[in-house]
Amino acid sequence: MAAAPWAVVFQFTWGFTVDVGKDGDGRRIQQKRTGFATKVDAERALHEVRASLHRGTFVPRSTLTLAEYLREEWLPATKPPLVKYETWDDRRRTLEVYVLPRIGGVRLQELNAAHLNRLYAELLASGRVQSTGGLSVGSVRRIHAMLSKALRDAIRWGRVARSAAELADPPSMKVVQAARRRSMRTWSGEELRRFLAATESHPLHPLWFFGSSTGARRSELLGQHVPDLNLVAATVTVRHTVTPGEDGYQHTDDQKSQGSARTVHLDRRTIEVLRAHLDAQDQIRQQVGPLWNPAALLFPRPEGGWWNPPAISEAFKRAVKAADVPRIRLHDVRHTHASLLLAAGVNPKVVSERLGHSSVAFTLDCYAHVMPGMQADAAELFMGRRARRRAPRREHRRPGRGPGGRTMNVICHRAVTAYRKARRRFPGTAR
C-alpha cells in the first residue's frame, strides 16, 4: 500500500534589532521587530526607526491599552487645580461610561481612525445608558474633543507617534450648531413679562428678574456678591460662581473663561427690584444676627448660605408651570435675554460683552437664527439709501469767476456781510 503524500512548508519572515538608547545604568536598550514578509519591508521599517531616533520622535513599542493610559496616566495628570473639578469629573465620567467599555481594550499605539469612527457611529445610534436611542451630535462631538486632547498629550509624552483623532471623522460642526439651535427655546418679551408678573410674590423672584435682565449664568447668579453691586452707577461686576467640587458645590471666583468676568449695566426697573430685595435682606439680618450670610451673597438661602444649583432649576421649573408660559430651562432665560436684545437691534458686540462670551463670533453663531428679520430691514435700508443717492438733484449754475480771479459766491458773501453791517449801523436804511 503506497504511503499518503505529505509535505512540510516552512514560513520565513524577516526582522531586525536596533539600539534605541541606554538605560540609567548605561546598558543598551534594544528594540526588536519581526514578522515582515520581505527583506525590503524590514529594511524600510528599520530606516523609519533610525530616522525617528535622529529626529527625537521615536516611540518604543508598548502594550499599554487606551483604558490604562486614560485611567492611570492622563486623568491623574490633568486633575485639579490644572483644570476645574467640574471639567475633570465630567471627563472621567464620560470616558468611563461611553468610551472605555467600547474601545478601552485597544492598544494605545494600535488605535486608529476606524476605531474612533465606529465609536462615534455607535454612540449616535445607541449610546444612551439610561434610555434607548443615541447620544446627541453635540455630545459625540464633545467626546471627540476629549479624546483629541488626551491623544495630543500622549504624543507630547512619547506614548504614540501620531493622534488617531486627527484622522477620524466626528460629526460635522454645522450639524452640532443646527442641533444647538433646535434645542434652544426662548420666550418672547410678552411671555417674559407674564412670567415675572406671575412670580412677583415668589421668594426667588429677584433672582429670576436679575437673571433675565443681565443674562447671567446660573452659577453666576448663585455666586453673586452684594459688594460687587453698585446701585448708584447702575452696574454689577460678575466674577464669582457656585460650581461642583470634590466635596459638593463650592463658592469660587474662578470663571468659565477669561471674558466671563465682566461689568454689566443695569436698567432702572432692575435697580428698583434689587433695592427692595436688599431692604428685605436687612430685615432678615436684624432678626438672625451677624452670622447671617457671611459670604455677603446677593441671593442667599434663608439661613444665609448659597443655593444648591439643581434646587434652583427645579424651583424655576415649578414656577414656569404655575405661570402658564411655555416651558423652558433656567439657562434659556439667558438665551431669552440675548435674543431680545439682538432682535431689538442691539450691537452684537454689546450683547457678547453682557453675556461674557469669548468672542462676538460665538455670539452670532449661537443666536443668528433670532435675527432673520434684520436682513430684510438691512436690505430695505440699503435700497432706500441707494434710491436717495440716485434721485436727480436740482440744477444749479456753478458760480463763475469774477474780477481778480475771485469766485462769484465769495463776492456775494462779502456783499451780504457789508449790507448787514450797514443795517446795524444805520437802522433806518431802506432795503
DSSP string spanning 114-182? Answer: HHHHHHHHHHHHH--SSSSS---HHHHHHHHHHHHHHHHHHHHTTS-SS-GGGTS-PPPHHHHHHHHHH
Is this prediction's pTM over 0.75? no
Residue-wise pLDDT for 316-337, tens only, equals: 999 999 999 999 999 999 999 9
Contacting residues for 328 by C-beta, under 8 A, at least 6 apart: 185, 186, 187, 320, 336
Q: What is the pLDDT of residue 201?
A: 93
pLDDT for the residue 228: 93
Question: Which CATH homologous superfamily contains domain 189-373?
Answer: Intergrase catalytic core (1.10.443.10)
Task: Give backbone dihedrals phi and psi of 306, rounded to 5 degrees, phi first.
Answer: -90, 155
pLDDT at position 19 is 76
| Residue 231: pLDDT over 80 | yes
322's grid cell: 404655575
Residue 244 clears pLDDT 50, i.e. is over it? yes
Encode pLDDT of 397-426 as tens digits.
555 444 444 445 555 556 666 667 666 665
Per residue in 36-71, pLDDT (tens digit) is 888 888 888 778 777 777 766 667 778 899 999 999
- Specify the amino acid at residue 167: L
The whole-number pLDDT of residue 218 equals 92
State the Cα–Cα distance between residues 69 and 248, nearest whole angstrom.
28
Q: Are the C-beta atoms of residues 117 and 167 closer than 8 Å to each other?
A: no
The three cell numbers of residue 404 are 481778480
Query: Could you say which DSSP state residue 262 is in?
Result: E
User: CA-CA distance, 225 to 313, in Å (whole number)?
Assistant: 20
Query: What per-residue confidence (pLDDT) applies to 290?
Result: 73
Question: Which is more confidently placed, 178 or 42?
Answer: 42
Assess whether pLDDT exceeds 60 at residue 387. no
pLDDT top residue among 18 and 38: 38
pLDDT in tens, 102-138: 999 999 999 999 999 999 999 999 988 888 888 888 8
Least confident of 145-154, 289-298, 348-357: 289-298
**What is the average pLDDT score of the chain?**
81
Classified by CATH at the fold level, domain 66-183 comes out as: DNA polymerase; domain 1 (1.10.150)
Which one, of 192, 196, 207, 138, lies nearest residue 339 by Cα? 192
- Determine the distance from the C-alpha atom of residue 231 to the mean position of all C-alpha atoms in its chain, rounded to a whole number: 30
Largest distance between two CA atoms of the chain:
157
What is the rounded distance in angstroms from the CA atom of residue 210 to the CA atom of residue 205?
A: 8
pLDDT category, 190, cuts 50, 70, 90?
very high
